[in-house]
Chains A and B, each alone.
Chain A
């Protein structure tokens, strides 16, 4: 993954996590796998960044965690989206879309 400025990266990771959890509750490994698969290998979130983001999101009450059993029958921490998280996701999604559109406008040759 390219190295954009840190806060953008952070914001992007957050929105990716939220979007993933909107799909269904998952544990951290599952989230990074989902993102990797969905982006066809283009987006690979660094684990350190991911877990820091997850805990940060939980502190902000955008996600909620609980211990469950993974598909490999091991104890794992699962995250799910809260109502506030859902709202935040919609907002950030919109923001990111506008940003991308703006970038495109500048970068496009026409």
Chain B
């Protein structure tokens, strides 16, 4: 009774929408025709029959539509379900495959995890600096205003109070916010004494930035009346650290520098200071600076933050500042060289070159990841070739090429995503390290967050890696010819395309490794040069420095202060390991000056006007230069005889001597510092130049004796026998005995100080160096694995050669030749790329050219040497093939 039906054994093929509709129409037409035929048999005409049949059908249009849509929807969900089940199968197979070859999986996962982790880590830092916006209101309109001279146009110069007032008149600037002195404040609490780093800010400071306090309020106009109000704003970290995040802190009084101040607010954790990282903010009253109008015009003491007026572009701003400088020079010719006022966008001022360094590190990290991907691609490729049989069987059973490629891609995807996940976990674990490193490059960095943006980056990176190392092996590996693949011969032949590809990949790896190694080499030589340049004073572990600040009212008397420091000096000198002690107000490494640079007037050089120049004023104790190891080029150092009642004396640095008395002896000449009618000082000595940093400029300096210029704070320098840190506890004890309320801050050796200065370069070298080492390892691994595979594939051939009498040496030479061809090609390409790429480093190289031939040659030799070693093992293996085995037919 069965009427036909043709069954299908395989799945229904996919039909287009048109086809589906056509089939529905055909089906319904069949129904109509059958009915019409019956009606015709009953006696109707053909046309009548057709019409009747149509009528009797019902709503045919709706039915057509309904049936077609149903079929289309069914096909779609069917397809999706099938696709999903295939995918699940692929995943299961891939998982099994991974477990079966744990060594391979481990190597691949490690490689990827390191590569992706490193990139994620670097990205999280780069993002904050380069891409993310500063946390202020409309930060692109904010600028820093600097003062400089034509001679010394480096940024960082301070402005005079008069200049600040002049700035207020400019129509191009909407808001001016001077801020000033950075100093340490001694906080005496119930349980402990701390030293807080603080800065004084004008009432406009926070409003210009457009930031609000987290608790309470920020400093505003209320806090500058006749005198600045005794208030203070705390930073978030300080609030957490010292007050445990107690929200009742606002309104409480704290004892700061012996005076009571009220805490009026706490800044949020996201607040980024435009300079340094102060813990407290106190009010600054500019008006006090104007009590002496002459000093107001001459003393450089302020930093300025400003907001550019709406619609004002950089050229307009620059022009207005030039006009201001020009007008000042005209009105006050005794300013001599005249100061220039210039503006720099706040973002650049804060970031200051850190972004280029970071971008280079990012580039290096990406290069390593690229090498890692190439490596992994090579591994996948050789694996695919090894599995040709398995794939061929699958193909024979009906799997299309696309299906096979997809399966291989799924394997790559699993590995790629797993590697990425591990990498992110690693980056997360190393977060602390990241913050430390980032702060070295950019002091105001703050926290580095690994948030959704970073995760998205990691995901995108993992995905690109998968594509990078997955696609090519998948496509090449599935190029199978069934007969060839299934036959026995499949085992010995490597497949010409895939081995050529494998070799090309290794060449690429070697080239990239060369580039990284050269970069690391250049950075290394830079660091050596920096350490070699020195800073003009000794920087050993036997030199200790620490700061002491006398801020309580008990020390308002000059004599008291001098007495205190003298006593401390004596007590320190009395300790056994100590060889000498000295103190200085502004140590060279501090890099900033309290006021100044100030104008120097050299008396008697030109009669009428005197030549003015700018130099820093530094107060030192006697014996300072000997302790620091700074040579005295002429004359003498200060002694205890240069006291208050003795004639005013000074020492100058070499550059000042050269400026005013080139080729002549400045000893005995007179200068005055600051104002035209400041007291004259006699020059008694010339000291060698010192620098703030090895790569910094020299700082023309005028030194004055502490006994004649008593100060309330100072940095001590102690030279000891052996490691200087050993005496710190003793000194701390002595200080505590003298006054428990005065802490000793910042004790460190000058060796560490120098290391700190060079921290950015050291960090860069460490990072790029690690990447380079990793790249070298990967490249060596690449060479080794390709050669090992090649030898394995040609075992028979080597066996035959040996059987025919070839010497061990010649067989090894054969293998070496093939391997070295690859590395030579890679090295050559790498050198070419490096020759171009190192230009990017030019900005941070010191003492070595970007295309330094020694470095290039050395790295090339290194790589070739490593390649030889990598080839040796496979070469050895080739010689050990038993000819008898090889000759046996398989």
Contact = CB atoms under 8 A, between A and B. Distances in A.
Contacts of A67: 6, 23
A49 B34 CA distance: 17
A104 interface: no
Interface in B1-17: 1-8
Interface in B22-79: 23-24, 26-28, 30-31, 33-35, 37, 56-60, 62-63, 66-67, 70-71, 73-74
A55 B70 contact: yes
Contacts of A48: 57-60, 62-63
A3 B73 CA distance: 30
Contacts of B8: 66
Given A25-B2, A66-B7, A46 B74 contact: no
Contact of B66 (A24, A55, A66, A77): A55
B74 A58 contact: yes
Nearest to A25: B5
9 contacts: A46-B57, A47-B35, A47-B56, A55-B70, A59-B74, A66-B7, A70-B3, A77-B26, A78-B5
Contacts of A78: 3-5
B27 A51 contact: yes
A14 interface: no
A66 B6 contact: yes
A68 B30 CA distance: 12
A44 to B, nearest CB: 9
Contacts of B28: 51
B521 to A, nearest CB: 68
Contacts of A40: none
B4 A68 contact: yes
Contacts of A71: 3
A47 B31 contact: yes
B31 A28 contact: yes
Contacts of A77: 23, 26-27, 30
Nearest to B27: A77
Contacts of B57: 46-48
Contacts of A24: 1-3
Contacts of B2: 24-25
Given A29-B34, A47-B31, A59-B70, A52 B63 contact: yes
Nearest to B75: A59
A22 interface: no
Interface string A15-42: 0000000001111110000000000000
A66 B67 contact: no
Contacts of A54: 67
A46 B63 CA distance: 11
B15 to A, nearest CB: 12
A8 interface: no
Contacts of A28: 27, 30-31
Contact of B67 (A26, A46, A52, A76): A52
B742 to A, nearest CB: 87
Interface string A67-91: 1111110111110100000000000
A47 B1 contact: no
A75 B5 contact: no
Given A25-B3, A72-B34, 7 more contacts: A46-B57, A47-B31, A52-B67, A59-B70, A74-B30, A78-B3, A80-B5
Contacts of B71: 55, 58-59
Interface string A45-65: 011110110111011000000
A49 B58 CA distance: 8
Contact of B31 (A51, A52, A59, A72): A51
Nearest to A77: B27
B6 A76 contact: no
B310 to A, nearest CB: 64
Nearest to A75: B26
A75 B63 CA distance: 20
Contacts of B56: 47
Contacts of B23: 67, 77
A29 B7 contact: no
Contacts of A75: 26, 30
Contacts of B4: 68-69, 78
Nearest to B73: A59
A55 B3 contact: no
A68 B70 contact: no
Contacts of A66: 5-8
Nearest to A78: B5
A18 B56 CA distance: 23
A28 B658 CA distance: 111
Most chain A CB within 10 A, of B6, B27, B58, is at: B27
B67 A51 contact: yes
A49 B37 CA distance: 21
A74 B7 CA distance: 17
B73 to A, nearest CB: 7
Nearest to B32: A47
Contacts of A69: 4
Nearest to A60: B74
Q: Which 7 A-B pairs have the closest CB atoms?
A: A48-B58, A59-B74, A55-B67, A55-B70, A47-B57, A48-B63, A29-B34
Contacts of A56: 70
B6 to A, nearest CB: 5
Contact of A29 (B3, B30, B60): B30
A22 B296 CA distance: 107
A70 B34 CA distance: 11
A11 B628 CA distance: 101
A47 B57 CA distance: 5
A78 B8 CA distance: 13
B31 to A, nearest CB: 5
